[in-house]
Amino acid sequence: MRIISKRPLREFWERYADAEGPLLGWYREVEKEEWATPVDVKAKYPSASIIGDNRVIFNIRGNTYRVVVKINYPGRIVYVRFVGTHAEYDRIDAREV
């Protein structure tokens, strides 16, 4: 998968240094994937939440942090829409970011 973009991940781990390893690990794993459907995502990440409109919520570092993405399955593109703490996530609408 092609991930657009790494910048929000980097900006986040610059604020929360303990997020760098888990976010880089997630990024490197997702780059190697070839997801065609949400079922493929769930096979790799059973704790991921599929919320509709091709959006997926990933729990990072034991659910301390969250990443919300929108996936273009035919194009094999993952758009990072939100990276934040669990508390920051509670203040957004994941279907709208």
Phi-psi region of 76 (alpha: psi -120 to 50; beta: other; left: phi over 0): left
CATH class of the structural domain 2-89: alpha beta
Question: Residue 3: is its pLDDT beyond 90?
Answer: yes
Determine what percent of the chain is predicted with pLDDT higher than 90: 93
Question: Residue 85: is its pLDDT beyond 90?
Answer: yes
* Residues in contact with 70: Cβ distance below 8 Å, sequence separation at least 6, in sequence order: 53, 54, 55, 56, 78, 79, 81
* Residues in contact with 7: Cβ distance below 8 Å, sequence separation at least 6, in sequence order: none
Q: Whose CA is closest to 19, among 69, 62, 71?
A: 62
Please tell me the pTM assigned to this model: 0.94
What's the pLDDT score for residue 47? Answer: 94
Per residue in 28-60, pLDDT (tens digit) is 999 999 999 999 999 999 999 999 899 999 999
N-terminal to C-terminal alpha carbon distance within the chain: 20
Q: Spell out the domain ranges in the chain.
A: 2-89
Question: Residue 67: is its pLDDT beyond 90?
Answer: yes
